[in-house]
Amino acid sequence: MSYLNRRQVFSNCRYKTKNFKNNTMKYPERLHEIGRRDAVKLLTAGSAAGFLGFLGSPLARAESGEKPSYAKGVPPVTIKNVKAIATAPSGSNLVVVKVETSEPGLYGLGCATFTQRAVAVVAAIESYMNDFCVGKDVDNIEDMWQSFYVGSYWRNGPVLNNGLSGLDQALWDIKGKRANMPVYQLLGGKSRFAVPVYAHASGRTIEDVVASTKQFMERGFKYVRIQLGGYGGVGTAAAAPDFRAAGFGIERDNYMDEFAYLSSVPKLFEAVRKSCGERIELLHDIHERNQPVDVINMCRELERYRPFFIEDPLSPENTHWWQHLRESTSVPFAMGELFNNVNEFVQPMVNHYFDFIRVHISQIGGITPAMKIARLGEWFNVRTAWHGPGDVSPVGHAANAHIDLAIWNFGIQEGGYNFSEKEQSVFSGCPTFRDGYIHVNEGPGLGIDINEKEAAKYPIGTRSNWTVRKSDGTIIRP
Ligand code: GCO
Ligand code: MG
């Protein structure tokens, strides 16, 4: 018998409820004062009221299959159309999925950006996803995710996963709009007031990188990634590689001087620490380009400079080196932007081989799987550091930030702080940057929108390949 019903029953009897209000009367003591007939009357009335109460409860309505009040009279919102919008306002090929619904004006956006093979993602969305989704209920995100994920039988590849991410993020966007709240609220609300981010300091010389780091510190960044030249020091090598003289490969193939790179990184950390102090958190991306043994030796030298994390020390193909690497040095590691599926990182997480998970959220299929990864990491003290460079769309950056706000085991976020004017002409509601933090737009859903006419002004390109060679011409995992 509910608290409220009990009060009604007693008010019908001789006793004044005011006593209950100031809680002077203890429930059991008073009972013996009423006669048996009254007691039976009371109990029946109570259970009748209780039952009546139950009849009105959401539970009864649900059990009777009756629609919940918020859906009463509102037919389920279904998917009317799924399309891909490809655009490159800042040069990087971006793909965004737009899910249009049966409710006029209600649509969702999601990031499906695989910049190197964007056309393939667009084809997958237009040829397969639209037909798969039309007519389905927008509310069942997990079911939509699981069914599209296995729908192709062969699965877990970057092209289909990116398409799936676009759909998934768009459905979360729609659910937020229907609930009239930001997605982070649906994910559990804020665990922090805003999202700390790291900046990219780079340059052709160590002095350039020191200067760039200082500039970012002046803008309020507390985390800065330091890179000399491109990844692996590409573009800083003194001498031309032998393969060029031999006419091997093509002109635009990149050259990486492994020795020059391996000896430059400790010098870089030493110089930045000396000029910028002990407090600034310094990150570096090895970008999976070196031999595991060389990485072990280099990381041992970096320990004294207290790196916040060293990223992608190994390629996904070399994960069997993790135990050896972990046991050889104490620097914190971040890994994962190349991971496509959960099987690639469960064991390394369980064995604490790395400290930060770096997945490219659209690469693994969106917000739904990313939340599962974050929750899994919580139990193995692995924090998140979602991938967030220029080849993530502003929609993807917004999705990153909504997750970052909600999860407990957040580590740091990459990017999402410098949207160009062209990008902002295409995407409104981009996250904003203040004093080292990004803030999401507090509007419903992901809080971001796209102007398709503007987007069409920046068509995507098709040439986007990573070709890096050693001096003898051998291809390096980039
Ligand atoms: C990073 C990444 C990127 C990737 C790029 C590939 O840590 O930000 O390594 O720079 O190389 O996203 O297209
Ligand atoms: Mg990286």
Distance CA 63, CA 393 (A): 43
Residue 260: closest CA among 241, 282, 281, 288: 241
Report yes or no: 407 and 384 within 8 Å, Cβ to Cβ: yes
Q: Using a 6 Å cutoff on CB, does residue 288 contact ligand 1?
A: no
Q: Of ligand 1's atoms, which has the minimum distance to the CA of residue 464?
A: 13
Q: Looking at 284, 287, 360, 387, which residue is catalytic?
A: 287
Is any atom of ligand 1 closer than 6 Å to the C-beta of 285? Answer: yes
458 CB contacts (<8 Å, ≥6 apart)?
87, 88, 89, 422, 426
Whole-angstrom distance, CA of residue 58 vs CA of residue 436: 45
Ligand lying nearest the CA atom of residue 335: 2
Nearest to 179 by CA among 141, 120, 139: 139
Compute the distance between CA of residue 313 and CA of residue 331 in angstroms, rounded to an integer.
Answer: 11
Per-residue b or e along 331-356, where b marks 16 or more CB atoms closer than 10 Å to that residue's CB: bbbbbbbbbbbbebbeebbeeebbbb
**If you measure from the C-alpha of residue 170 to the centroid of ligand 2, how many angstroms do you get, rounded to a whole number?**
26
3-state secondary structure of 251: coil
> Does 115 contact ligand 1 (Cβ within 6 A)?
yes
Catalytic, 387? Answer: no
Instruction: State how far the alpha carbon of 391 is from the alpha carbons of 84, 200, 263, 387, 403, in Å.
Output: 16, 14, 29, 10, 19
CA distances (Å), 267 to each of 31, 41, 325, 353, in order? 84, 88, 21, 26
Tell me the β-bridge partners of 201: 226
**408 closest CA partner among 193, 194, 190, 185:** 190
Tens-of-pLDDT digits for all 478 residues of the chain? 454 454 444 444 444 444 444 444 444 444 445 566 666 666 666 666 565 555 556 666 666 766 665 555 566 899 999 999 999 999 999 999 999 999 999 999 999 999 999 999 999 999 999 999 999 999 999 999 999 999 999 999 999 999 999 999 999 999 999 999 999 999 999 999 999 999 999 999 999 999 999 999 999 999 999 999 989 888 777 788 999 999 999 988 999 999 999 999 999 999 999 999 999 999 999 999 999 999 999 999 999 999 999 999 999 999 999 999 999 999 999 999 999 888 888 999 999 999 999 999 999 999 999 999 999 999 999 999 999 999 999 999 999 999 999 999 999 999 988 999 999 999 999 999 999 999 999 999 999 999 999 999 999 998 788 999 999 999 998 8
Q: Output the CA 93–ligand 1 centroid distance in Å.
A: 13
Which residue type occupies 38? Answer: D
**Residue 391 Cβ < 6 Å to ligand 1:** yes
CA–CA gap between residue 209 and residue 361 (Å, rounded): 29
How many A from CA of 334 to the centre of ligand 2? 9
**CB-ligand 1 contact for 257 (6 Å cutoff):** no
Rounded Cα distance between 84 and 86, Å, is 6
Beta strands in 177-229 (DSSP E): 195-203, 223-228
The residue type found at 284 is H
Which residue is catalytic, options 231, 261, 305, 417?
Answer: 231
287 catalytic? Reply is yes
| Residue listed under structure tokens 């018998």 | 1
User: How big is the CA angle at 139 (ends 135 and 145), to the nearest 5 degrees?
Assistant: 80
Instruction: Using the atom order of ligand 1, give the atom closest to the CA of residue 92.
Output: 13
